[in-house]
Chains A and B, each alone.
Chain A
Amino acid sequence: MTDNNPLTNKAVRDFLAEAEEIVEHLGSELADLADSADGGDIDPDLLNSIFRGAHSLKGLAGMFGFAGISELAHNMENLLDWLRLGKLKLDAGVVAVLLESHEVLLSLVRSLSEGEHNEHDEKISACAARINACLEEPSRDAAQASPLEALGLSEQVLKSLTEYEEHRLLENLSKGKNIFSVHATLDLATFDQELARISDAIKTCGEIISTLPSMSSNLETNIDFDILAGSALAFDEFLLATLHDNVTLTLLSGGRQSSAPPATAAKGSAGSRPESPKPAEPPATPAVPASAPDTPAAAAPSLSAKSISRTVRVDIGKLDELMNIVGELVLAHSSIATLAERLRSERFSQMAVELGKSAKMLERKLTDLQKGVMDIRMIPVGQLYEKMSRIVRTISREQGKKVELLFYGADTELDKLIVEDISDPMMHIIRNAIDHGIENPEKRLAAGKDEKGVIKISSFQKGNHVVIEVEDDGGGIDIDKVKARALQRGFVQDPSAVSDKEALEFIFLPGFSTTDQVSEVSGRGVGMDVVRNNIAAISGMVDIETTQGLGTRFIITLPITLAIIKSLIISCAGRTYALPVTSVLESLILTGRDINTVERREVTQLRDTTLPLLRLEEFLCLSRRSARPDEFYVVVVGVAEKRLGIVVDELLGQQDIVIKPLGEGFRRFPGIAGAADLGDQRTILVLDVGGMINDTMRSGS
């Protein structure tokens, strides 16, 4: 049943945009929870975050009238609340119920995004029933007499503990942890940074149970906080770990392993050293009613559990449209600029100068606009990481391997579309790393490695490119096996003549696979050739480095954006082409004498390196009507570590272009990235530097 009412459809889209994100996040957190349930110790922050996620989804779905989703999220929220408050133990059964409910949520949201509007009633009610079954039999072991009074907590602190915080406090006590009261007097202007520093220090060695702000003796400039924390450390150790100016520490409880007597200590100006073993109480304050305000209207900070995000969700299609318009404006501008130039040369001087000025002005504003639109498209690579961590968990569980995923550079920004398009190739690389790279625990231990394998994903900006590296500490690629396979497949006649680096390139050829049994994970008929092609389709490159026994690193180099690019316009054999400036390093003027031939390939000496050359006319099979010019240009291009000199006839100048795809029919033509409109009704081809470099390197080996 599809609904064609555009208003409803828009509401559905708005809902989906937010709901998908929440459900996805819930999924990865639930997987984390499932992991920690195996280990026994549950991170209360994680549980809380999941609880809040379910809560937000419930509210959101309720607001948009998706009763089914809202109901299921509500049931999950109840279950999570019980877990959070310790009324229910997290066992395998509960985990299964949570994961199943999440599956159903996911399928509900997915079917909505595919335009279906059925709400899978049976599935929802089945889940709800299972959840309620969990809630019917509360484990009573958490309910014990409250030993809270024994702590000597101040009335104020005790009164403002939520049910949940009380539970955490009891939980810490029952585990024999020490309970500390940390009293801090902070500057009102900077308290949040200061408090964050103190909190971080506490979190390294314990758990923060509550943070109560209280009035400082100087209430105009200062604010006090009483932090209640649980930690396994003894007083002295905890003091050392949380040492901070203006902080007073008090031990409230004798946990099991506490040897230290109740004590307090202070560093900095705040306190006298020996102090009674009770928390610093807020000074008693007489109730002085402030004068009644006389401004008419009211203001109220309204507070919410949801984190603030000052963002607007936009359909990427709208941004594309905007980008296209900007692109056309850029073209319109360049024709105006050309016109102004021509007018000037034809001596309409005064007007021409003014037109030129306006064109310059327009150009500046256009650049701003372009940059603004471009910025909107940029998203942090971190969004990709979340997906990857889920994949790693699923696969490593399937494979019975232990894998830890480390991320670096999550805030590196990339064009949204590139992030989307890179996610499949990356997923495949990661699958490969777990499937073929990381050994099983026994093998790892035998090799003297930690039984847990590590996959490290890092990203950083490098000039006009973003580099994403996927590195594993597995067995590495067996080059001899690769060579043997290449021989068997007929890619090479004499494997001994192939260098190791060249051999690695075979992996990217279609129909190559070194494992004999095709596993469920990697063997889906998608090879590394597809990975390379997909990355090349977004003008990126992928490289491999491997060390036998130590691991493999995939290096993906991507352009930051595909939307509008500066390009170098060149001509060769009477035709015009564009080269993305991002990949251009320099250009040289050469004559025939500067070219040498090494192993039947043309090269030239560039400073102290040998630069391989590619004649564009040969690469594109162009026929020349007139003789080659004596003097010609070489455009030195580079992607990642690779360099190539492209031999062309002339350089015509720089221009901003919008690359448009050529359409399915031309997709597999290497070395062409797309077409672009030059603004004077001329359409030219845009060369794909990565593709050209790959092609040249391959034909050379």
Chain B
Amino acid sequence: MALRAMLVSIIESLGDFRIVEAANGFEALRLLPREHVDLIFTDINMPDINGLELISYLRNNPNYQHIPVVIISTEGSQSDIEKGRMLGANEYIVKPFECADLKSIIVKYLDDRQG
């Protein structure tokens, strides 16, 4: 939870973004049809469905397959991150990360949409 809160505050400090938080994979699945989402951050190790499963679902669903996905995970899960990339994750960030990394990703994916 601490990480999610931190992530939210960092993103908020980077610009006027609306942030929707999901505590786990199921919550994310429920939020998706209701929210208009432009960028998704996800961890890999989650209690119900894992991040890879979430990405697989997103990439196979025409409604969501265009949404960029960023994996945020620990250095220990290199092979999982690699799998995530194969499934179609756009970027990954390894914890502990620098604000600058996050900023460049947000700029990359969200500025495109505004333009």
Query: Chain A interface (Cβ within 8 Å of chain B)?
Result: 18, 52, 55-56, 59-60, 62-63, 77-78, 81, 156, 159-165, 188, 191-192, 195, 210-215, 219-220, 223, 282, 285-290, 292-293, 295-309
Contacts and interface: CB of A to CB of B under 8 A. Distances in A.
Given A52-B45, A59-B3, A309-B1, A301 B37 contact: yes
B90 interface: no
A81 B76 contact: yes
A298 B38 contact: yes
Contacts of A306: 1-4
B94 interface: no
Interface residues of B, number: 72
Interface of B: 1-4, 6-8, 11, 15-33, 35-57, 60-63, 65-66, 72, 74, 76-77, 79-80, 83, 86-87, 95-96, 106, 109-110, 113-114
A132 B7 CA distance: 32
B41 to A, nearest CB: 4
A162 B52 contact: yes
Nearest to B112: A292
Nearest to A45: B47
26 contacts: A56-B2, A77-B76, A156-B56, A159-B52, A162-B45, A162-B77, A163-B77, A188-B33, A210-B50, A212-B49, A213-B25, A213-B49, A215-B57, A215-B61, A219-B61, A296-B114, A297-B17, A298-B18, A299-B35, A300-B41, A301-B20, A302-B21, A303-B28, A305-B45, A305-B47, A308-B24
Given A160-B53, A290-B66, 12 more contacts: A156-B60, A160-B52, A188-B30, A210-B53, A213-B54, A213-B57, A299-B18, A301-B28, A301-B37, A304-B46, A308-B1, A308-B24
A416 to B, nearest CB: 21
Contacts of B30: 188, 191-192
Contacts of A56: 2
Nearest to B56: A160
B36 to A, nearest CB: 6
Contacts of B51: 303
Nearest to A226: B53
A300 B53 contact: no
Contact of A289 (B22, B26, B54, B66): B66
Contacts of B31: 301
Given A298-B113, A306-B4, A162 B80 contact: yes
A211 B49 contact: yes
Contacts of B29: 191, 213, 223
B41 A159 contact: no
A81 to B, nearest CB: 6
A162 B24 contact: no
Contact of A212 (B3, B11, B32, B56): B56
A285 B62 contact: yes
A293 B36 contact: yes
A293 B33 CA distance: 14
B18 A297 contact: yes
Given A159-B52, A159-B83, A161-B52, A303 B77 contact: no
A297 B109 CA distance: 11
Q: Top 9 A-B pairs ranked by shortest CB distance?
A: A308-B23, A298-B38, A302-B41, A160-B52, A301-B22, A303-B42, A160-B56, A213-B57, A304-B4
Contacts of A192: 26, 30
Contacts of A159: 52, 56, 83, 86-87
Contacts of B106: 298
A160 B38 CA distance: 23
Contacts of A282: 60
A212 B56 CA distance: 8
B15 A287 contact: no
A192 B65 CA distance: 22
A295 B38 CA distance: 9
A300 B63 CA distance: 15
A283 B74 CA distance: 33
A62 to B, nearest CB: 7
Contacts of A165: 50
A197 to B, nearest CB: 13
B53 A212 contact: yes
A192 B54 CA distance: 15
Given A192-B30, A292-B113, A308-B24, A303 B54 contact: yes
Contacts of A300: 11, 17, 19-20, 37-41
Given A62-B96, A163-B77, A223-B29, A299 B38 contact: yes
B84 to A, nearest CB: 9
A292 B114 CA distance: 10
Contacts of A164: 45
B83 A162 contact: yes
